[in-house]
């Protein structure tokens, strides 16, 4: 029997045909790593680079010739030229110098009223501009994977990011040329990924410990509606702080952190991160650090138990945030039906055990905590762009910190309380303080303190044209609107005359509109050459690292492992590459020529590397029996 298609009355047949999807991506702009994902065949997938790597290290290297390198090569260069590399920029974005005094990573400068800029060997760099480099790199990756430029992007931010940090993140997206659909709270993105994957219903707690920030979010999920009940967090608590604990433990009292060079600090922090990650699977890890930067070589063992003791204060700090979040939502841990862990730092056994014990339940572990936020952002981007992904959800986020204005006496009057669902619009009526007052200065602040000086300043604007009445007679209506991204607009108008003034609240530091426009124009004008310049800079960096490795190998007494002819050929190729780098060629053929020379030198140096390893193994095993090696005691743990 033939099958017939039944058409809905009044619906054109063309509308029933499959509709082409529009390219959209979700981006997790992280402290340690940055990721981009998209939805294919209704399934969110991470996009990898040409080498198959999904995680992009959040590192930006500024070369002497002005070119920029992003990712793994930039991270590798941070131990050789830390003054040219910016790391953990997420901790700096949208914040002032005063707020970052305790930040131990970058050298900061003040530019304008409180503005934080990063001092590099290539000059001052705004955290917004550095973040834009990371986003631009992912844009190129998405274009290569999708075959087209994304038409919509969702970028995640910590739930506890204030308005200044959100504005700065949105500015970075514009600077990178990304069509921003929405800023999405990271815990909400994670819950979205889990909720749609497992059809979870009920109350969800999201414990999000990333590389540089911590968030706790409590959400209610019911039939596709995600409602954030409360948020809490600490934008200066993350995996980086646990790494610093390991470094301080290893240094002991012999060498204060402040006396170390930037290169030494970076080497130790990267080594500490490797040790911390290794402890996620091993009972103990051996640390053989030092021998450079005037640091003595030390060999010791760090066990999971010792690390748990070191980490306990930081873990307790995160649990104190959790307690405040439950109090705000008038809930208790037993009320939770699901617990989600987000962020690579939650892989630490000490964290998992403490969190599971505090919440009284085991967390979900079906999605990689490093990747879940990007996957959730991709689902939201796919939905907002209008694709038929099968995803039908509503996200109801909240204001993370109270918004208000300054009133007489330097007091902060709350207009929008924290944990108010978004979007929201609140109206308050104020009056004049003096007789004959014809203007009103409005100072917008954010925070939970009673005094303005203890809150975050967001914006200033003036309302003029108020009729000169007696004090307390005029009526000024103040309207605060916060959109779904958490971005604030404040409007004031006098009721009897109708005069009004408004401002889109921006932080009192960071890029101005003229600065942003100039950077945007510069980025647009140089778009055609950016890709070639980036590849050339990456290849130059690889060449310099290869030369450094060969130089070390030839100066440590192992040159006898080569024949005279081999050594001469290696030195000739090394000098040729050095001379080529000194020319700083930038033409179209420069990349091909440089890549050829690096490959040639790498091939010539391979025998030396193999023989050095063989010699080291023979030296370590000479005069020792298998029984001795098997019975060798483990090194003692440093107390």
pLDDT in tens, 564-619: 777 888 888 888 888 888 777 766 677 788 888 888 888 888 877 777 777 666 66
Residue 293, pLDDT above cutoff 90: no
What would the two tokens of residue 220 be?
A: 């209610």
Of the pLDDT bands very low, low, confident and very high (cuts 50, 70, 90), residue 367 is: confident
Phi, then psi, of 458 in degrees rounded to 5: -110, -40
pLDDT tens digits along 497-537: 888 877 776 554 455 555 555 655 665 566 666 666 667 77
Phi/psi class of residue 520: alpha, beta or left (left: φ > 0; alpha: ψ in -120 to 50)? alpha
Longest dimension (CA), the chain: 99
- 24-238+313-396 homologous superfamily: ATPase, nucleotide binding domain (3.30.420.40)
Across 286-305, average pLDDT: 84
Beta strands per DSSP E along 419-544: 424-430, 439-446, 456-464, 476-482, 488-494, 500-504
Residue 105 is predicted with a pLDDT of 52
pLDDT tens digits along 158-211: 888 887 888 889 999 999 999 999 999 888 898 888 865 455 578 889 999 988
> Average per-residue pLDDT in the chain?
81
Cα separations in angstroms, 386 against 20, 150, 152, 177, 382: 11, 13, 10, 21, 7
Q: Read out DSSP for 450-484?
A: SBGGGSEEEEEEEEE------TTT--EEEEEEE-T
Helix axes 564-583, 590-621, angle to 10 degrees: 140
The rounded distance, in Å, linking the Cα atoms of 114 and 96 is 5
pTM: 0.76
Percent of the chain with pLDDT over 90: 31
Residue 362, pLDDT above cutoff 90: yes
Across 51-71, average pLDDT: 91
Residue 515 · residue 129 · CB < 8 Å: no
Across 539-552, average pLDDT: 79
Residue 19 is predicted with a pLDDT of 53
Of the pLDDT bands very low, low, confident and very high (cuts 50, 70, 90), residue 58 is: very high
Q: Which of 69, 65, 27, 17 is nearest to 541 (CA)?
A: 69
CATH of the structural domain 403-515, one choice from 2.60.34.10, 2.60.40.60, 3.30.930.10, 1.10.357.10: 2.60.34.10
The rounded distance, in Å, linking the Cα atoms of 294 and 477 is 64
Beta strands per DSSP E along 20-112: 24-29, 33-40, 43-46, 56-57, 59-62, 68-70, 85-87, 108-110
Domain boundaries, the chain: 24-238+313-396, 403-515, 532-551+560-621
3-state helix, strand, coil in the chain (%, to 5): 40, 25, 35
The rounded distance, in Å, linking the Cα atoms of 233 and 207 is 10
Q: Which residue has the higher pLDDT, 112 or 382?
A: 382
Q: In 10 A of CB 250, how many CB atoms?
A: 21
Residue 358 is predicted with a pLDDT of 97
Residue 129 · residue 423 · CB < 8 Å: no
Long-range CB contacts for residues 592-598, cutoff 8 Å, separation at least 24: 594/536, 594/539, 594/540, 594/543, 595/539, 597/543, 597/573, 598/539, 598/542, 598/543, 598/546
Architecture per CATH, domain 532-551+560-621, reads as Up-down Bundle (1.20)
Bond preceding residue 563 cis, omega within 30 of 0: no
Q: Read out DSSP for 252-296?
A: TTTS-GGGS-HHHHHHHHHHHHHHHHHTTTSSEEEEEE-SSTTPP
pLDDT tens digits along 452-483: 877 778 888 888 888 888 777 888 888 888 88
The rounded distance, in Å, linking the Cα atoms of 62 and 105 is 16
Q: Which of 345, 355, 289 is nearest to 321 (CA)?
A: 355
Which residues does 623 contact at the CB level (< 8 Å), separation at least 6? none
Of the pLDDT bands very low, low, confident and very high (cuts 50, 70, 90), residue 550 is: confident
Residue 633 is predicted with a pLDDT of 47
Strand partners, 227: 220, 396
The rounded distance, in Å, linking the Cα atoms of 83 and 89 is 14
């Amino acid at each position: 029997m033939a099958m017939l298609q039944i058409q809905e009355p009044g619906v054109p047949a063309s509308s029933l045909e499959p509709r082409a999807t529009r390219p959209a991506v979700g981006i997790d702009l992280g402290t340690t790593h940055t990721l981009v994902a998209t939805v294919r065949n209704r399934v969110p997938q991470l996009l990898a680079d040409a080498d198959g790597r999904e995680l992009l290290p959040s590192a930006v290297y500024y070369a002497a010739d002005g070119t920029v390198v992003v990712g793994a090569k930039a991270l590798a260069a941070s131990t050789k030229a830390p003054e040219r590399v910016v790391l953990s920029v997420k901790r700096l974005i949208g914040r002032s110098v005063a707020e970052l005094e305790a930040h131990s990573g970058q050298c900061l400068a003040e530019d304008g009223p409180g503005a934080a800029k990063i001092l590099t060997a290539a000059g001052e760099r705004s955290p917004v501009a550095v973040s834009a480099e990371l986003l631009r790199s992912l844009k190129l990756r998405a274009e290569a994977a999708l075959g087209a430029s994304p038409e919509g992007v969702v970028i995640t931010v910590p739930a506890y990011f204030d308005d200044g940090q959100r504005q700065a993140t949105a500015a970075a997206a514009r600077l990178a040329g990304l069509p921003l659909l929405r800023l999405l709270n990271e815990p909400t993105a994670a819950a979205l990924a889990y909720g749609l994957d497992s059809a979870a219903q009920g109350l969800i707690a999201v414990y999000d410990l990333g590389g540089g920030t911590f968030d706790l979010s409590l959400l209610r999920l019911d039939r596709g509606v995600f409602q954030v009940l409360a948020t809490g967090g600490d934008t200066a608590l993350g995996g980086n702080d646990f790494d610093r604990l390991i470094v301080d433990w290893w240094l002991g009292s012999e060498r204060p952190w402040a006396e170390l060079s930037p290169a030494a600090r970076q080497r130790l922090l990267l080594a500490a991160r490797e040790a911390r990650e290794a402890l996620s699977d091993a009972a103990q890890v051996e640390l053989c650090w030092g021998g450079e930067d005037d640091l003595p070589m030390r060999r010791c063992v760090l066990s999971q138990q010792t690390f748990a003791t070191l980490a306990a204060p930081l873990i307790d700090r995160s649990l104190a945030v959790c307690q405040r979040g439950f109090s705000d939502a008038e809930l208790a841990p037993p009320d939770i039906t699901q617990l989600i862990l987000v962020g690579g730092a939650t892989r630490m056994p000490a964290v998992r055990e403490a969190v599971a014990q505090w919440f009284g339940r085991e967390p979900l572990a079906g999605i990689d905590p490093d990747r879940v936020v990007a996957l959730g952002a991709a689902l939201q981007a796919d939905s907002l762009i209008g694709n038929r992904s099968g995803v039908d959800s509503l996200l109801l986020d909240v204001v993370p910190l109270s918004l208000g204005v300054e009133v007489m006496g330097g007091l902060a009057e709350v207009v929008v309380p924290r944990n108010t669902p978004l979007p929201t619009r609140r109206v308050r009526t104020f009056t004049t303080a003096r007789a004959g007052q014809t203007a009103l200065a409005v100072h917008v602040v954010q925070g939970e303190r009673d005094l303005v000086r203890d809150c975050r300043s967001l914006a200033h604007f003036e309302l003029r044209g108020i009729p000169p009445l007696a004090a307390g007679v005029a009526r000024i209506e103040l309207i605060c609107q916060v959109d779904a991204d958490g971005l604030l607009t404040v409007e004031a108008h006098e009721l009897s005359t109708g005069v009004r003034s408004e401002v889109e609240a921006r932080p009192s530091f960071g890029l101005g509109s003229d600065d942003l426009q100039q950077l945007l124009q510069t980025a647009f004008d140089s778009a055609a050459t950016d890709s070639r310049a980036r590849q050339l800079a990456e290849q130059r960096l690889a060449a310099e690292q290869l030369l450094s490795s060969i130089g070390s190998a030839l100066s440590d007494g192992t040159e006898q492992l080569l024949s005279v002819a081999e050594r001469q050929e290696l030195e000739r190729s090394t000098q040729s590459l050095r001379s080529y780098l000194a020319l700083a060629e930038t033409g179209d053929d420069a990349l091909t020529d440089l890549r050829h020379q690096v490959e040639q030198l790498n091939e010539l140096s391979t025998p030396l590397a193999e023989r050095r390893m063989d010699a080291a193994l023979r030296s370590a095993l000479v005069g020792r029996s298998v029984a001795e090696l098997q019975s060798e005691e483990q090194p003692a743990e440093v107390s």
